[in-house]
Structure 1
Amino acid sequence: MRGRPTPGLKLPPEDRGSASVTGWTRRHWIAVADHLLASLRPYRSPLGARISPPGRGSWSGADTDGLEGFARTAVLAALRLAAGDEPAHGGHGGLDDLDELAGQVTAGLLAGTDPRGPECWPAVTDYSQQIVEAASIAVALHESRPWIWDRLTSGQREQVAWWLGGTVGRGVRENNHVLFQAVVGEFLASVGAGHDRAEIESRLEQIEPWYTGDGWYLDGPEIRHDYRSGGPGEYAVGPAAAYDAGRRFDHYNAWGLHLYPLLWARIAGERAGARAALYRERLNRFLAQYRLLFGPDGAVLHQGRSLSYRFACLAPFWLGVLDDATPLTAGQTRRLASGVLRHFTERGAPDPRGLLPLGWYGEQDVAAQVYSSPGSPYAAAMGFLGLLLPAGHPVWTAPEERLARERADVTAALPAPGFLVHRTAADGIVRVLNHGSCYLTAPPAVERDDPHYARLAYSTRTGPLIGAGSGPGEYTVGQADALRIDNHLALLLPDGTATRRERIHPLALTDRYAASWHRPLPPGEPVPGALPPPVVSVSVPAGPWEIRVHGLCRPPGWGVREGGYALAAEDEPEELPDAVPGPRAAVRAAPGAHGPGLVSAVVGLHGWAAAEVRRSVRANAFGHCSAVPLLVLQPASAKGFDGASEEVIVVVSAVLLTGAPGAPTVPDVTVRVDGAEVCLTWPDGRKLLVSPVLPWHAPVDRD
């Protein structure tokens, strides 16, 4: 089900000839870009150096937030300038309007880099947000060079280069931020300004150990040595600041770790040489897997941080075309990209004000991290890189093509991030069963799980419960415990609080199943030498269902709980009546702008005693009201784990997320449990033997 474009967004007529799937053309992209840029005018400062949309500020302060708004929208302006004067709605071109746009960016640039001016930007310091925004400004100046940089006087160029040069020699965060310094340095080199060639090469080298294969990068090393220890500019760094940051895989592979090396290569030109060839080869491999994370309806996997960037996730697809580094055809790229942009514009992004607020579809700032400002979502500008391709390019003229296997059910293992992709053709939902990606929040946080990384599963149609905190590590204990419900297996302490899943240790991953283990950490800081026995979890797709097998130990008086997908909508999802015997709970969300009504259900196949539904409000990026079906095993009063003898408990559940019509039925899989061994049998006689305990023995297929 499609929604309607944001009120005020004027779009050209659809073209169902060349764009049979989405109806969108290059002119639609230009219309959205123009609408976003025009809607920001009321939020420009008098001299234009700051753009400050309304919303919750970041931890960097108002001045840096205003710079962020300018820098990120400058990228969108630059891409619009590079697109030329092709009108969005027909008729005379918009060259005069483009001159005005270039003038606005130039005025803000000069006001912000004037050290004596009333709107001067904060100076670049070690680990500062200014380094991030300097990279956006460098990219904008490079891609719009004839419009802005080439029109500056020599004195104005020196002024701009002076501010950008503040990044040289600075300390940077030990993640994707190292690439920002490399991009700024290369731009300075390209215009003959002061730079440090050794620093540029060092920053590019720094990401090499993070490359894990198949096009996937970690977003920084697993052991990091920097974190914010206080207010702006206060960081702990060096060996004494070392901490386990986890293995972080998410959309930053798209809008950071592939994007900026190839933007660097565009600026470096021939100097990029072998590095550029390597980056292109990795991008090609990445896109072959990354395309699986998008629904046929344009929906995007909701997992990871900085999700307010929304369609910035399209950047690597455009780069694949620009650099001849994509396994997709021109028609497939066009169909995927236009589908995503249309999907968001029909669901509240941009909103009725023409703005991209913090949130996913509409505004929900609780879904954003503490480093995000009201201008942060305009990193979505990178999703418009396709405007660098001229109107006559095949990506804009070739007929749209559906992606390979789009009409079929798909299960596909992505070994590098530890994802098992599970897509059903009947409803187009993409689910990712997560047995590898984990983000451990930095000190001084004690409970370091993050709901956008710690869950067993994510999808293109649901989001995790996020509560009313202000970002990773910012929840109170009570709020955090309330969040550990959906797609989470928790041991429940006698007081009812839930254990958490932090570090995820992959065990096995194939197209048929995924497995991992974690320590079920109770509230508070882990005590060295007193860690609880591990939980082993195995996920097996079965049609629209996922069979989960868990092996765990529980102390006397402790319970166990497992949740399914959190459904969210503006109206409360309804609870469906029991249709099968045994522990079962199901909820349905009414059809709406997000698509046909969804059903989320859980069924206890072994070991579970009861089921229930937990509800919450303002806790999910997909809607005001949320509901999660749960399975519960009450505390054991008899013998249990006492430190000397371990009682292994095996529980088996079936978890459903579907948008297909009709009432949900139980999965057509027979479960037999013999001690710590579980046998799953399908109607065609196929069997899978699973032993969810350590030491690990891989499941055995018996066809």
Structure 2
Amino acid sequence: MMKQWDNDFLTREDYAQAMEKLIQPIREEIIHSDFPGVHLGSSGAVYNQQRADMEALIRPLWGLAPYWTLKKDDQLRDAYLNKLAAGTDSANAAYWGDVENYDQYIVEMAALSLTLLLHREYFWEQLPLKQQQTLIQWMAQALDRQIPKNNWMFFKVLIRIALYQCGEVLNHEALEKELLLIDGMYVGEGWYVDGKETQRDYYIPFAFHYYGLIYVKFMGAEDPERSQIFIERATRFAQDFLHYFDADGEALPYGRSLTYRFAQAAFFSALVFADVEAVPWGVMKGIMSKHMKKWMDHDIFTFDGRLSIGYHYENLVMAEGYNAPGSPYWAFKTFLLLAVEETHPFWQAQPIYLKRNEKRLVKEGRLLLLHESNGAHVLGFPAGMLVEGQAHGEAKYSKFVYSTKFGFSVPKAGIRYEEGAFDNTLAISVDGNCFRVKRETESYQLSEEKVVHQWSPFKGVNIRTEIYPFGEWHVRFHEIETAFPLEVREGGFSVGFEERKPQTTGSKETASVQQGPLTSKIINIEGFEEAYIVQPEPNTSLFFPRTSFPYLKKQLPSGRHRLISLVGGLYTKEERE
């Protein structure tokens, strides 16, 4: 395991050394594999093995291409050129195949496009003319294919400008149409929606803004008006986004694609790349340094040093269907700043480390953020967010609160309460075995004082939930109207533990779990019958392999009911001060 890191992530050389260390476990496989791909594991994804292996080959280019602007690696570069020549040539037995509608190949072309944009001489011109043409023809297929109307629209934009930089004619009309579709997803205050109103997550910084800033870099002179729009949007977004990180560098865990890990900071790297000082360079430098150091301290590597699927540790339970063994290398997007010379003011700036106790209402991000314990603990209270058609949508978007110190859990199965791992949500059951939690909200209110959700887990059951945050505590107030009897369970924050059993205390009215600096506590104010402790199935938490959390329970007859509880996730580490 790659646990020992001596890297402050402050200088260009720091990032280059990290890139070298991260690529080393797969470098020889890339060079010596006898097909145009890299086979990094046996787990599957919604796309086939050929596409998964191609993804594992191409995704590291997000970091390698910027790295090559600083340090050349001809052997690795040549391996990529040879594999690209084989994979894109329809006459070759190893041909990747034609590009289809909604194809994973289109996603991976974005990293390839960046490589072509950064390295006309070092990469593109090293291909013989015939291989250049086969590569162009293969990539150009994507421009005629159907794709989701979400962040994928930027893939066509990047492919177009990359081929344009390689000498192809730019279809300005098609490009403008794609950019207008992207504009249609902009909702104001720096925020986009990722295709649907309820999807506002890390795809906004590490996709929409990231690609927009690449556009600024390479098309700024030719399209200054559009580039200025992207700059202004990114600048406004940055004022919100810096609040998603706690003083230790941990980003708020919520939403999909969390296995991309330190891609959470890729937005700041893109700001540096496009020379956009949306917040002071020193603030960006401090956030990125803390963030990268924090990630390198987590168990994010396999036994042989590869990036694993998971979050704080290797974990397939939390993954989406599009997470293949090579998918985590999306995190390499954060190394884009390696393409910026040492003379850039970012590299010269002194890091500024933010510590704050404040609230931040992110209206268009549909999130209320609280910075507690001198900023060491960030809590996020969402409203009106959900993803459809992806694993664990309700757990990743629709819990009552998310935390940079406690994380959150996803279900392992759909039967028992222990399998559901329903921390920080109200679980509802008709039979006492199968539970449902809040998914869609019929309406919501979001302010600095409270968050209100109107929701219905079953037909005939209507719930109004009001959340009142204060410090590391919050009050939950539920008004429930039900046409039939229910069992309800109110879950608190999950806490990890390493011993045989967790450290717990409790009574009929309150229960708590404590481990090290973390304490999770829940108190009945009105309506619940008794407090309990549950130990969910292992590997359900994104932060801890084994967890426990307190919960309150109540049997409700048909009719109207009111339930009130006080819930705390307390971080008490002395060093925070």
Which TM bucket (shorter chain)?
A: over 0.9
Q: CA deviation at 1:507?
A: 3.1
User: Hey, what's the Cα distance between the residues in 1 that align with 2:91 and 2:540?
Assistant: 45
Q: Aligned partner of 2:491: which letter?
A: G
User: Hey, what's the Cα distance between the residues in 1 that align with 2:223 and 2:480?
Assistant: 51
The structure whose residues are more often helix, as a share, is: 2
Q: Which residue of 2 aligns with 1:358?
A: 309
User: Hey, what's the Cα distance between the residues in 1 that align with 2:89 and 2:505?
Assistant: 66
1:192-244 per-position Cα deviation (integer Å, ceiling 9, x unaligned): 2266433322222112232222211111034xxxxxxxxxxxxxxxxxxxxxx
Q: Out of 554, 568, 575, which is 1:656 matched to? A: 568
**RMSD, matched Cα:** 2.4
Q: Aligned partner of 2:445: which letter?
A: A
SS at match of 1:367: coil
User: Hey, what's the Cα distance between the residues in 2 that align with 1:146 and 1:291?
Assistant: 36
Q: Which residue of 1 aligns with 2:525?
A: 605
User: Hey, what's the Cα distance between the residues in 2 that align with 1:216 and 1:360?
Assistant: 25
Q: Which residue of 2 aligns with 1:586?
A: 512
Q: Aligned partner of 1:651: which letter?
A: L
User: Hey, what's the Cα distance between the residues in 1 that align with 2:29 and 2:406?
Assistant: 32
Q: Whose Rg is larger? A: 1
Q: Aligned partner of 2:117: which letter?
A: H
Q: Which residue of 1 aligns with 2:488?
A: 560
User: Hey, what's the Cα distance between the residues in 1 that align with 2:277 and 2:468?
Assistant: 31
Instruction: Report matched runs for 1:168-567 at 5 Å.
Output: 168-193=143-168, 196-222=171-197, 247-403=198-354, 406=355, 408-425=356-373, 428-441=376-389, 449-468=393-412, 477-478=414-415, 482-483=419-420, 485-521=422-458, 531-567=459-495
User: Hey, what's the Cα distance between the residues in 1 that align with 2:384 and 2:445?
Assistant: 10
Q: Out of 10, 18, 25, which is 1:39 matched to? A: 25
Is 2:3 the partner of 1:6? yes
- The 1:106–1:571 alpha-carbon spacing in structure 2 relative to 1, beyond 3 Å, is farther
Q: Is the 8 A contact 1:615 1:626 kept in 2?
A: yes
Q: Which residue of 1 aligns with 2:67?
A: 80
- The 1:140–1:480 alpha-carbon spacing in structure 2 relative to 1, beyond 3 Å, is farther
Q: Which residue of 2 aligns with 1:630?
A: 551
Q: Is the 8 A contact 2:308 2:314 kept in 1?
A: yes
Q: Aligned partner of 1:34: which letter?
A: E
Instruction: Report matched runs for 1:120-159 at 5 Å.
Output: 120-159=95-134
Q: Is the 8 A contact 1:5 1:346 kept in 2?
A: no
Q: CA deviation at 1:338?
A: 1.3
Give TM-score scaled by structure 1 length. Answer: 0.77
User: Hey, what's the Cα distance between the residues in 1 that align with 2:549 and 2:345?
Assistant: 45
User: Hey, what's the Cα distance between the residues in 1 that align with 2:406 and 2:135?
Assistant: 44
User: Hey, what's the Cα distance between the residues in 2 that align with 1:551 and 1:48?
Assistant: 60
User: Hey, what's the Cα distance between the residues in 2 that align with 1:305 and 1:423?
Assistant: 23
- The 1:505–1:139 alpha-carbon spacing in structure 2 relative to 1, beyond 3 Å, is farther
SS at match of 1:371: coil
User: Hey, what's the Cα distance between the residues in 1 that align with 2:436 and 2:567?
Assistant: 20
SS at match of 1:620: coil
Q: Out of 45, 53, 56, which is 1:58 matched to? A: 45
Give TM-score scaled by structure 2 length. Answer: 0.93
Q: Percent of pairs identical after alignment? A: 23
Q: Aligned partner of 1:253: which letter?
A: I
Q: CA deviation at 1:328?
A: 1.8
Q: Aligned partner of 2:68: which letter?
A: L
- The 1:658–1:48 alpha-carbon spacing in structure 2 relative to 1, beyond 3 Å, is farther
Q: CA deviation at 1:487?
A: 1.1
Q: Which residue of 2 aligns with 1:28?
A: 14
SS at match of 2:361: strand
Q: Is the 8 A contact 2:301 2:314 kept in 1?
A: no
User: Hey, what's the Cα distance between the residues in 1 that align with 2:164 and 2:192?
Assistant: 27
User: Hey, what's the Cα distance between the residues in 2 that align with 1:257 and 1:573?
Assistant: 44
The aligned length equals: 572
- The 1:102–1:657 alpha-carbon spacing in structure 2 relative to 1, beyond 3 Å, is same
1:296-334 per-position Cα deviation (integer Å, ceiling 9, x unaligned): 111121111111111112121122233343432111111
Q: Is the 8 A contact 1:438 1:454 kept in 2?
A: yes
- The 1:383–1:55 alpha-carbon spacing in structure 2 relative to 1, beyond 3 Å, is farther
- The 1:555–1:494 alpha-carbon spacing in structure 2 relative to 1, beyond 3 Å, is farther
- The 1:571–1:274 alpha-carbon spacing in structure 2 relative to 1, beyond 3 Å, is farther
- The 1:661–1:131 alpha-carbon spacing in structure 2 relative to 1, beyond 3 Å, is closer
1:423-480 per-position Cα deviation (integer Å, ceiling 9, x unaligned): 21257111101112211327xx9xx853111211111123332244xxxxxxx54279
